[in-house]
């Protein structure tokens, strides 16, 4: 029973309570607890036996601590089970439809015991929604389309996919005279690893009140639109051909900062910020920060103005998850976060020797072009036959070629010899120690037998860490975003052992992985782990993906000092686990 599962059960209980007409305070307490459980670095599976430790987590009171203990013991929550028995588990699926909230689900249940997407589709076809409150023809058609879209896609997109879509729509919008600025907001601006939709905030003369219609029509003509959800005076929402929902909002320049702050979120951050504003005699909305007494505007044009008026420092969007950033900003104690320009090297990449698309020299030249001072060539080892992995003989020949390129670069960039060696099912590494000893960078990774039970996988990785030549643990949970869940492993135990042995843990910046997650990175830092960020590049173009990983490091509040490859080549090697 991991933290993510516990958080999901609490959130689902809140939704079911709201559908059931429960007390609003009780509903909010479950939602707060779900957010707290999702974000905490405490392994709740271990902490549930210690009530005092649970109560130290912000958002967890005595009642919620008891609920967490019940979940850990039974794998479920009695209240949730009671509500599921009453309504059926398929009711929760209705909440995944666009625009469908607990109140609408409750209406459907009361009207006709509708508790699943299929039942809703049949009720629409049979005309049973006609005449229901808030169920006009347009709303029914919207529901019908929402069902079709939901069945076409689960509705989540990787950060790189969302960013690519944002750039394309932005370019189209900026072609219109009078649109001067387009800014992605929402979870994309906060750097979350996956997005459910895309918020674009638009300003310029064409966005001022009374002058917006032509700009809205231009947005509606974007060639990538699959269907339009809604179109108004200053907003248009539509689905792209890949089912990503895009909300374009046209804003007067005078309220741009307030809107940017509001639509960036997160919801929990905004709630806390509004509470702070109220205590200071202000009200904060998407339009402005205004005085409560006379509604006069205090700040609206920039985010910086709003935070300053609330006696806080402006904070990077990646931090806005209500994890202490508001308190830190008020105390003028925000940490310095890592930036892309801080990275001096990338030490996980593949070449044509195995499954890469470029040569050693081409990867070195690409690294040099990015301003790097060093790279490491880390092709696969023999266990991954599908990648043409290197055996001992080929690995030694490969080391020789890497050394030749390093010499050829004449000091402009260092090219380290390395390997991404497979962790076999029993925890052994699949190349001889005599070969590993000749490399500067040895990354040990799990690629096979991902279905092993948790105890076996944990023991397997722990044994790999014990190998004296393991210097970095690669993509430690094995997840592929939206495709494959992390394998079962006691990550806390693994990270503690890595810290003890001096083995660095990797944040794999490839957007399909982003492994370790931001939460796990926070835990790694708390446990004293050395951290390295790499792209796992299989092509020179993949080196550009470093930016996605940097955003996860920033979400974890990591600074340049927390990441080994912000150091010089000499310092980087010295910071790795010493060779025997």
Q: Could you tell me if 65 and 55 are in contact, meaning their C-beta atoms sit under 8 angstroms apart?
A: yes
Co-location of 264 and 124 in the same domain: no
* pLDDT attached to residue 45: 82
Name the domain count of the chain: 5
Last residue of a domain, one of 251, 285, 320: 251
Does one domain contain both 322 and 347? no
* For range 147-174, the mean pLDDT: 86
Orientation angle between helical segments 117-125 and 137-152, nearest 10 degrees: 140
Looking at the fold, whether 230 and 111 belong to one and the same domain comes out as no
* Contact partners, residue 189, CB within 8 Å, separation at least 6: 183, 264, 317
Whether the CB-CB separation of 268 and 323 falls below 8 Å is answered with no
CATH of the domain at 45: 1.10.150.110
Question: Do 266 and 401 share a domain, yes or no?
Answer: no
Instruction: State the residue range of the domain holding 232.
Output: 157-251
Q: Does 60 map to a domain? A: yes
- Does 148 have pLDDT greater than 80? no
CATH number at residue 565: 3.20.20.140
- Read off the pLDDT band of 463 (50, 70, 90): very high
Q: Is residue 563 assigned to a domain?
A: yes
Q: Do the domain assignments include residue 148?
A: no
CB atoms under 10 Å from CB of 67, counted, come to 25
Q: 516 preceded by cis ω (within 30°)? A: yes
Q: How many CA atoms lie within 13 A of 197 on its CB side?
A: 17
Q: What is the mean pLDDT of residues 50-75?
A: 90
- pLDDT surpasses 60 at 152: no
Taking a C-beta distance cutoff of 8 angstroms, is the pair 430, 388 a contact? Answer: no
| Bridge partners, residue 345, by sequence | 374
CATH number at residue 237: 3.30.460.10
Sign of the dihedral through C-alpha 490, 510, 551, 562: positive
Residues 366, 320, single domain; the answer is no
CA dihedral 12→14→17→18, nearest 10 degrees, is -110
pLDDT recorded at residue 431? 97
Q: Which of 191, 216, 251 is the last residue of a domain?
A: 251
Q: Is the pLDDT of residue 149 over 70?
A: no
For residue 154, pLDDT beyond 80? no
pLDDT in tens, 346-358: 999 999 999 999 9
Which tens digit of pLDDT belongs to each residue from 213-240? 999 999 999 988 988 999 999 999 999 8
Residue 105 placed within a domain: yes
Dihedral sign (CA 570, 575, 579, 580)? positive
Q: Quick check: bond before 275 cis, omega within 30?
A: no
In a domain, 506, yes or no: yes
Query: Are residues 480 and 502 located together in one domain of the fold?
Result: yes
Indicate the pTM of the whole model.
Answer: 0.84
pLDDT at 153 over 70: no
Residue 149 is assigned to a structural domain of this protein: no
Residue 151 lies in a domain: no
- How confident is the model over 264-312, as pLDDT tens digits? 999 999 999 999 999 999 999 999 999 999 999 999 999 999 999 999 9
Query: 126 and 228 share a domain?
Result: no
Give pLDDT, residue 478: 96
Assign residue 301 the CATH number of its domain. 3.30.210.10
Calpha distance 243→245 (Å, rounded): 6
Q: pLDDT per residue over 386-408, tens digit each?
A: 889 999 999 999 999 999 999 99
473 contacts 506 by C-beta, under 8 angstroms: yes
| pLDDT of 412 strictly over 70 | yes
> Residue 5's pLDDT is what?
82
Burial environment of residue 144 by CB neighbours within 10 A (0 to 12, 13 to 18, 19 or more): middle
305 and 391 both lie in a single domain: no
Same domain membership, residue 560 and residue 424 = yes
3-state secondary structure 368-423: HHCCCCEEEECCEECCCHHHCCECHHHHHHHHHHHHHHHHHCCCCCEEEEEEEEEE
Average pLDDT, the chain: 93
Predicted pLDDT of residue 129 = 83
Task: Answer for the pair 338, 566: CB distance below 8 angstroms, yes or no.
Answer: yes
Question: For residues 205 and 180, is the Cβ–Cβ distance under 8 A?
Answer: yes
**Which strand (E) or helix (H) includes residue 240?**
strand 235-240
The predicted pLDDT at position 151 comes to 66
| Average of per-residue pLDDT across 411-433 | 97
Same domain? For 464 and 489 the reply is yes
Counts for the chain of helices (H) and strands (E), in that order:
25, 17
Q: Are residues 379 and 488 in the same domain?
A: yes
pLDDT tens for 2-28 read: 787 888 899 999 999 999 999 999 999
Q: Is pLDDT of 324 > 60?
A: yes
- Decide if 335 is inside a domain: no
Residues 60, 47: Cα–Cα separation, whole Å:
13
Whether 193 contacts 552, CB under 8 Å: yes
**Same domain assignment for residues 352 and 466:** yes
Mean pLDDT across 196-211 = 95
């Amino acid at each position: 029973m991991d933290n993510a599962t516990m958080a999901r059960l609490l959130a689902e209980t809140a939704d079911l309570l709201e559908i059931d007409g429960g007390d609003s305070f009780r509903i909010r307490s479950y939602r707060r607890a779900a957010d707290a459980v999702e974000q905490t670095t405490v392994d709740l599976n271990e902490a549930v036996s210690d009530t005092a430790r649970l109560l130290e987590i912000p958002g967890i009171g005595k009642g919620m601590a008891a609920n967490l203990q019940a979940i850990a013991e039974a794998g479920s929550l009695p209240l949730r089970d009671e509500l599921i028995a009453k309504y059926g588990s398929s009711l929760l699926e209705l909440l995944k439809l666009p625009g469908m909230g607990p109140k609408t689900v409750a209406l459907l249940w009361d009207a006709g015991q509708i508790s699943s997407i299929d039942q809703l589709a049949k009720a629409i076809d049979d005309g049973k929604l006609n005449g229901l409150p808030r169920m006009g023809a347009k709303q029914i058609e919207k529901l019908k389309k929402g069902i079709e879209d939901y069945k076409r896609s689960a509705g989540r997109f990787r950060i790189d996919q969302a960013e690519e879509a944002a750039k394309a729509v932005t370019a189209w919008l900026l072609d219109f005279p009078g649109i001067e600025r387009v800014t992605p907001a929402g979870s994309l601006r906060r750097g979350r690893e996956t997005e459910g939709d895309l918020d674009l905030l638009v300003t310029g003369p064409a966005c001022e009140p009374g002058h917006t219609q032509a700009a809205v029509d231009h947005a509606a003509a974007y060639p990538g639109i699959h269907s339009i959800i809604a179109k108004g005076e200053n907003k248009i929402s539509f689905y792209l051909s890949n089912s990503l929902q895009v909300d374009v909002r046209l804003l007067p320049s005078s309220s741009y900062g307030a809107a940017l702050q509001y639509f960036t979120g997160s919801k929990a951050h905004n709630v806390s910020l509004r509470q702070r504003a109220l205590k200071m005699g202000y009200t904060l909305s998407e339009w402005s920060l205004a005085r409560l007494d006379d509604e006069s505007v205090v700040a609206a044009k920039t985010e910086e103005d709003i935070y300053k008026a609330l006696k806080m420092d402006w904070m990077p969007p990646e931090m806005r998850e209500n994890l202490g950033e508001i308190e830190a900003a008020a105390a003028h104690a925000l940490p310095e976060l890592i930036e892309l320009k801080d990275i001096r090297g990338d030490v996980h990449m593949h070449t044509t020797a195995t499954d890469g698309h470029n040569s050693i020299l081409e990867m070195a030249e690409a690294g040099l072009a990015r301003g790097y001072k060093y790279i490491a060539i880390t092709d696969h080892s023999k266990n991954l036959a599908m990648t043409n992995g290197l055996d001992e003989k080929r690995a030694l020949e490969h080391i020789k070629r890497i050394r030749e390129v390093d010499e050829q670069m004449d000091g402009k960039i260092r090219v380290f010899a390395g390997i991404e060696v497979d962790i076999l099912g029993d925890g052994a590494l699949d190349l001889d120690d005599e070969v590993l000893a000749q490399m500067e960078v040895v990354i040990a990774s799990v690629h096979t037998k991902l279905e092993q039970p948790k105890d076996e996988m944990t023991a397997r990785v722990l044994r790999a860490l014990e190998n004296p030549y393991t210097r970095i643990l690669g993509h430690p949970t094995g997840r592929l975003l939206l495709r494959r869940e992390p394998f079962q492993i006691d990550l806390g135990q693994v990270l503690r052992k890595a810290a003890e042995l001096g083995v660095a843990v990797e944040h794999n910046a490839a957007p399909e992985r982003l492994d370790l997650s931001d939460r796990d990175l926070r835990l790694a830092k708390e446990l004293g782990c050395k951290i390295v960020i790499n792209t796992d590049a299989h092509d020179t173009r993949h080196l550009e993906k470093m930016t996605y990983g940097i955003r996860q490091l920033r979400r974890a509040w990591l600074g340049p000092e927390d990441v080994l490859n912000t150091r010089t080549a000499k310092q980087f090697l010295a910071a790795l686990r010493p060779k025997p």
